[in-house]
Amino acid sequence: MNGLRGAIICCLLASSALLGTAAPAAAAAAGDVAHASARIGDDDPLEIEALRRTHNLQLVFAEKGSGAYLADVRVRIFGAGGQELLTALSSGPFFFARLAPGRYRIEAEFNGKVVSRTTNVSQSGLRDLYLYWPGD
């Protein structure tokens, strides 16, 4: 039983170490918005779930029709007054941000095409926003 407990503790420690390094937050262009991106396959599902718990906005990027996930998407977040709060590049199809409660405009650019959405974010819970681009 002690061997199993030790193995579990080692796995938990390794997972917590990955949480701190696998999806580093990118620098915000304006303001102080905590954010991270995650990739399919490279990032552990437990890590992605931890990001879902610690952020209140999740963006998912995909191709319309096929549903193929997209990466290397430029994300811009604007406050209700139009001020740019964040510019970042999402390395994978999942992008997370921790924002103050309020209304935001999200612009995401992939291959020169911009998709824009307006959404409300609350203090608790996670707002999922799916952004789709036309396929080739």
Q: What are the sequence ranges of the domains in the chain?
A: 2-133
Confirm whether pTM is higher than 0.85: no
Identity (one letter) of the amino acid at 23?
A
Predicted confidence pLDDT, tens digits, the chain (136 residues): 445 444 444 443 343 333 333 344 333 334 679 999 998 876 678 888 889 889 999 999 999 999 999 999 999 999 999 999 999 999 999 999 999 999 999 999 999 999 999 999 998 889 999 999 998 7
Do residues 135 and 74 make contact, with C-beta atoms less than 8 angstroms apart?
no
Which stretches of 15-135 are assigned E, i.e. beta strand? 34-38, 57-63, 73-78, 84-90, 94-98, 102-110, 113-121, 127-133
The CATH number corresponding to 2-133 among 3.40.50.2000, 3.20.20.100, 2.60.40.10, 3.40.720.10 equals 2.60.40.10
